[in-house]
Amino acid sequence: RMPSLLEYVSYTCNFMGILAGPLCSYKDYITFIEGRAYYRAQPSHNGKEVAQGERVDPSPKAAVTQKLLVCVLSLLVHLTVCSALPVGYNIDEQFRATASWPTRVAYLYVSLLAARPKYYFAWTLADAINNAAGFGFRGYDGNGVARWDLISNLRIRQIEMSTSFKMFLDNWNIQTALWLKRVCYERATFIPTVQTFFLSAIWHGVYPGYYLTFLTGVLMTVAARAMRSNFRHYFTEPPQLKFCYDVLTWTVTQIAISYTVVPFVLLSIKPSLTFYSSWYYCLHICGILVLLLLPVKKTRSGETAHKNLQTSPSQKSNERDSSLGQNSFSTTNSISSQNQEVGFRHWSPQP
């Protein structure tokens, strides 16, 4: 049903998220307001959860305390480390002229690593505020422990240990990515990845650095998808080989993410292009070469596909039928959707 005016205003202006979010769906919000989120859910015979009549009142104290500790740590790191490792030093003339390439790569990673805690602070604090008010209860895990991650916006451990672009983006700015998926990606009739990234840039503002970051992000996302689909299956066994593969992909992913988001931090066009030119646009060139040389599986009807082999009509039909499972985003407002396999998630560092 359509919400009433009072319900609509309550959803859009609720005090818990009016400053920094996180964004939540109206369905989740009204379920919380009406008190229906606190009825114990049990798995049924088919694996789906069904609501039972027993009302529970889980305490958010442990979750709120843990998240506030993360906030304090993130704020301390931001106030101490971030000022000592400015991202702008990557384009310092003396640094570029004297530093070796390994030093420049290491500083690029460390400086962008130091820039992330301010986002961790804002998003985790917003999540803790909602949890303290009782919003964000997802249910219980297999051990009977209450889960308070219904509207969480990031997963720090997965972000820092990401071994692919997909894994990084799946765990960053989760709720905004869900919104972009609903309003743009699922409705786009052609090149949905490009359209979604471009909408994200417009949503952030008018700084040229946003557009450079998101346009670069399109290239990096598609190239990373091609690399992963073509090579990952060769390195799953034995465990020692998989470990070496994970170390290599972690290194490449962290460097590529850092390279991509420098303009987002620098904002202006001149310093952003100075940075990319100082790196000789090397990752842009590598991404283009990957797309030219490697076959890329079709992930959505209407999106450009590159294949070396001709496929039959039945194969194409099967691809279209399975394209939903390979979408660029994963939803997070249900337990099953949080684990679904997807190829891409929106990058949006601004809280």
Q: Is 78 a catalytic residue?
A: no
Q: 279-284: long-range contacts at Cβ-Cβ below 8 A with a sequence spacing of 24 or more? A: 283/220, 283/255, 283/256, 283/259, 284/216, 284/219
Q: How far is CA 308 from CA 182, 190, 297, in A?
A: 32, 22, 10
3-state DSSP helix/strand/coil percent for the chain, to nearest 5? 60, 5, 35
188 class by beta-carbon count within 10 Å (0-12 exposed, 13-18 middle, 19+ buried): middle
3-state SS assignment for residue 196: helix
Q: Is 171 a catalytic residue?
A: no
User: Which one of the listed residues 204, 230, 306, 333 is annotated catalytic?
Assistant: 204
Half-sphere exposure of 30 (CA within 13 A, CB side): 12
According to DSSP, residue 327 is labeled -
Catalytic residue among 153, 171, 173, 327: 173
For residue 324, CA distances in Å to 22, 278, 287 come to 26, 39, 25
Residue 167 is encoded by which pair of tokens? Answer: 């894994």
Q: Which residues are catalytic?
A: 173, 204
